[in-house]
């Protein structure tokens, strides 16, 4: 999720206090230690891209949660709750079902397909399902486009946090943050990323719970906060908040169904050591996500209540919600943990994008062109550096442009991957032509209309999102073209893939 509000303003309040700096330094030291440990265990391309298929379920769950939430749950999310009320919760409400959906529709099939075919990327699975290098290459292009934008957005946010803590300056903060993530990612690959994510995910959950209790204490409980807000702004606590029903339900659809097409999460299913334990994934995933969204909800609501009750002046910038509450209403040590958690969340997402972006360049595009590279481990590390430097350079462009680069990420992943991957691995009638057409539709529609909206050439009516439209059109095209070419479906499905789909 992009930290769009931060990126528009280009700064955070100064956090340079000794305790916050000390906790941040300790955090970065732990990350460095995890990276050094993982480096010694990364010897092959499989180790680098899928952690040698040796990750336990708890580590997988925390890593998936950490990569999903990014820093949005700490900064952008509370700001959105403060601004639009319960509408913002329709982004997070799908968290209660996405674990079950991904486990049922994708997790076991992805893990078994990886075992049977030796796959290491999400486009690998698409290529194997349709026996199509073209579909694999096109999905890799879509992933690479979204990854670069997503990485630039998150790297800028990381630079802002580092600047706020250490006073380094924005440009220096971007390069320092990039160097830290790059160091453990290049050396230890996804193995370093997963165990760093496990540490980061635990930190995120702990910080969220502690801050949520602080919001209840500050606001006098949820009942008192609700009464204060209702007296000043009744629409805020309406069932669909201030955005309205159409926008809220659109967000629920995009972030619910769209979760099935997020490669930085789906890719992690290849890594699970024992697929038989996947039956516990929905429960663990739901608990982890809900714990980590307590801060998202609590901080936004309590600051709104404090403003409505006259204890705070209305905020000039919504993205100041979390820093203001933490620095004014919580112990400094808790603030330090949260701000380290912000950096942790952003770094976990950047690492995941590094891995899938490098795999797209090193593995998927060469496979699509029929020219596999030798020594994928070495070239994977080189590609990680190239992608990271490119994203860092983009991150230093004007903030509005970087925000635009990140805005279409989720929708682009969803519209290009959900039909071909999530539906395709559950429907034998899907065809190669349908997959290619749906990926192309999602790519063109998302990029075209997001660009037109950015330059104010055209915008949809209130409540209609580009992400929702592109996902719906991509699914319709997938079913329509597959139906028109249905006679070819059986011949495009290999026996081992069909067996995996039947499990």
Q: What is the pLDDT of residues 290-302, one digit of tens each?
A: 887 888 899 999 9
Segment 87-94 shows an average pLDDT of: 84
pLDDT at residue 472 is higher than 90: yes
Measure Cα distances from 1 to 221, 435, 455 in Å.
Answer: 29, 26, 21
Split at pLDDT 50, 70, 90, the class of 120 is confident
Higher per-residue confidence, 463 vs 234: 234
pLDDT at residue 183 is higher than 80: no
Helix (H) / strand (E) element for 385: namely helix 376-395
Q: Which of 136-150, 215-229, 394-408 shows the lowest mean pLDDT across its residues?
A: 394-408
| pLDDT number for residue 424 | 95
Higher per-residue confidence, 355 vs 445: 445
Sign of dihedral through CA atoms 337, 338, 342, 348? positive
Point out which residues pair with 55 in neighbouring strands: 272
Split at pLDDT 50, 70, 90, the class of 307 is very high
Encode pLDDT of 32-65 as tens digits: 777 777 666 666 666 565 555 567 788 777 777 7
| pLDDT number for residue 12 | 54
pLDDT at residue 73 is higher than 50: yes
Segment 112-123 shows an average pLDDT of: 87
Split at pLDDT 50, 70, 90, the class of 163 is confident
Average pLDDT, the chain: 82
Of residues 410, 477, 394, the one with CA closest to residue 450: 410
Point out which residues pair with 310 in neighbouring strands: none
Segment 411-420 shows an average pLDDT of: 90
Encode pLDDT of 219-237 as tens digits: 999 999 999 999 999 999 9
Backbone angles phi, psi at 272, to 5 degrees: -65, 130
Structure tokens at 217: 């204490």
| pLDDT number for residue 488 | 92
Q: Which of 224-228, 241-245, 437-441 shows the lowest mean pLDDT across its residues?
A: 241-245
Of residues 66, 65, 1, the one with CA closest to residue 403: 1
Contact 79, 353 (CB under 8 A): no
pLDDT at residue 214 is higher than 80: yes
pLDDT at residue 335 is higher than 90: no
Architecture of domain 4-502: Up-down Bundle (1.20)
Give the residue carrying structure tokens 């959900």. Answer: 418
pLDDT at residue 388 is higher than 90: no
The CA-based diameter of the chain, rounded to the nearest angstrom, is 68
Distance CA 94, CA 289 (A): 10
Point out which residues pair with 272 in neighbouring strands: 55
Split at pLDDT 50, 70, 90, the class of 259 is confident
What's the whole-model pTM score? 0.83
pLDDT at residue 348 is higher than 80: no
**DSSP string over 212-235:** HHHHHHHHT-HHHHHHHHHHH-GG
Q: Which of 15-29, 301-315, 443-457 shows the lowest mean pLDDT across its residues?
A: 15-29
| pLDDT number for residue 194 | 73
| pLDDT number for residue 272 | 79
Segment 154-173 shows an average pLDDT of: 80
């Amino acid at each position: 999720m992009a930290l769009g509000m931060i990126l528009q303003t280009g700064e955070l309040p100064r956090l340079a206090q000794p305790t916050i700096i000390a906790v941040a330094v300790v955090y970065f030291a732990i990350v460095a230690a995890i990276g050094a440990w993982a480096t010694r265990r990364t010897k092959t391309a499989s180790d680098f891209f899928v952690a040698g298929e040796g990750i336990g379920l708890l580590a997988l769950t925390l890593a998936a949660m950490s990569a999903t939430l990014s820093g949005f749950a700490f900064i952008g999310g509370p700001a959105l709750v403060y601004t639009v009320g319960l509408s913002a919760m329709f982004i997070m409400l799908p968290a209660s079902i996405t674990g079950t959906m991904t486990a049922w529709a994708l997790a076991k099939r992805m893990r078994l397909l990886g075992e049977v075919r030796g796959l290491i990327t999400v486009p690998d699975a698409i290529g194997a399902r349709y026996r199509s290098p073209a579909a694999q290459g096109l999905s890799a292009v879509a992933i690479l486009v979204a990854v670069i934008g997503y990485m630039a957005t998150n790297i800028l946010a990381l630079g802002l946090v580092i600047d706020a803590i250490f006073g380094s300056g924005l440009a220096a903060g971007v390069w320092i943050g990039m160097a830290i993530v790059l160091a453990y990612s290049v050396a230890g690959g996804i193995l370093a990323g997963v165990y760093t994510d496990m540490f980061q995910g635990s930190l995120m959950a702990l910080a969220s719970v502690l801050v949520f209790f602080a919001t209840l204490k500050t606001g006098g409980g949820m009942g008192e906060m609700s009464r204060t807000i209702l007296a000043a702004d009744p629409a805020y606590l309406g069932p669909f908040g201030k955005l309205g029903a159409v926008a809220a339900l659109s967000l629920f659809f995009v972030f619910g169904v769209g979760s099935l097409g997020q490669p930085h999460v789906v890719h992690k299913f290849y890594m699970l050591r024992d697929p038989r334990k996947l039956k516990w994934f929905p429960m663990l995933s739901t608990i982890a996500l809900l714990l980590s969204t307590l801060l998202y909800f609590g901080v936004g609501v309590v600051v709104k209540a404090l403003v409505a009750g006259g204890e705070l002046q209305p905020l000039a910038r919504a993205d100041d919600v979390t820093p203001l509450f933490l620095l004014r209403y919580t112990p400094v040590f808790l603030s330090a943990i949260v701000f380290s958690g912000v950096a942790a969340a952003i770094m976990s997402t950047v690492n995941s994008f590094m891995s899938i972006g490098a795999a797209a360049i090193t593995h998927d595009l060469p496979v699509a062109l029929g020219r596999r590279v030798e020594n994928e481990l070495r070239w994977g590390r080189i590609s990680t550096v190239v992608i990271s430097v490119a994203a860092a350079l983009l991150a230093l462009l004007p903030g509005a442009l970087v925000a635009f680069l990140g805005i279409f990420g989720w929708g682009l992943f969803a519209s290009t991957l959900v039909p071909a991957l999530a539906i395709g691995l559950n429907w034998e009638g899907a065809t190669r032509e349908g997959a290619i057409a749906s990926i192309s539709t999602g790519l063109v529609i998302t990029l075209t209309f997001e660009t037109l909206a950015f330059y104010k050439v055209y915008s949809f009516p209130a409540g209609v999102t580009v992400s929702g439209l592109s996902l719906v059109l991509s699914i319709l095209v997938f079913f329509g073209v597959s139906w028109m070419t249905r006679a070819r479906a059986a011949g495009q499905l290999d026996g081992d893939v069909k067996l995996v789909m039947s499990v």
